[in-house]
Structure 1
Amino acid sequence: MAVPKRKKSRSNTRHRRSQWKATPVALVECPQCRDQKLPHVACSNCGTYNRRQVVETA
């Protein structure tokens, strides 16, 4: 297995890690109630998925 010959400096390590960014959660608009929801998931507000009622809501 490959082993580094020299220790990576703190500057180089932090410079490399600075590119690791969290991406914001992608939200889409529900076609029925216009509420924000996760894509490919039933709407928690109205209970529809793919324009069909799949979950009973109170």
Structure 2
Amino acid sequence: MATPKFRKSRANTHMRRSQWKANNTALQEVRIDGQTVRIPRRLVKAAQLGLVDVEEF
């Protein structure tokens, strides 16, 4: 892991952190119990098995 060799100023640290952006979760359309819902891909199987309440989304 890279380690800084010198102290970084607070302004430079905040400038670096401000450039980071999180991506929105990609949603997938799935038919569950006759209705089409858009849920994250990682929850599709759980929703089909009835382990996740679909009305939350």
- Scaled by the length of structure 2, what TM-score is found? 0.53
Q: What is the deviation of 1:36? A: 1.0
Which has a greater percent of helix?
Answer: 2
| Bigger CA radius of gyration | 1
Q: Which structure 2 residue ranges, 5 or more long, are not aligned?
A: 52-57
Aligned length: 47
Q: 1:2 to 1:29 in 2, by over 3 A?
A: closer
Please give the TM-score of this superposition, normalised by the length of structure 1.
0.52
Deviation larger for 30-39 or 11-20: 30-39
Structure 1: stretches of 5+ with no match in the other structure: 48-54
| Aligned Cα root-mean-square deviation (Å) | 3.0
Matched letter for residue 12 of structure 2:
N
Partner of 2:19: 19
